[in-house]
Amino acid sequence: MTFFMSLFISAIMSFAITLMNLGFVDGFIKFWLNAYWKAFLIAVPVVLLTMPVIKKIVGSLIKE
């Protein structure tokens, strides 16, 4: 779950930020892929560290 969450979140966020900063310029895919792998390297440990906290918060908000 951590791998796929990091994969999708970093892809979406890096695409959006690259698009906002540069627009659709020549070489956009190259710029986006460069931002994407960096975002993915950050997203994996962030998801690993925050997932237990988020699960506790959601568990306290939702009663079975």
CA–CA gap between residue 39 and residue 57 (Å, rounded): 25
Tell me the whole-structure pTM to 2 decimals. Answer: 0.71
Whether pLDDT at 36 is above 90: yes
The pair of three-digit structure tokens given for residue 5, joined into one six-digit string: 């969450």
CA–CA gap between residue 48 and residue 63 (Å, rounded): 24
CA–CA gap between residue 30 and residue 60 (Å, rounded): 43
CA distances (Å), 51 to each of 21, 28, 35, 43, 59, in order? 29, 32, 23, 12, 12
Residue % of the chain over a pLDDT of 90: 52
Whether pLDDT at 26 is above 70: yes
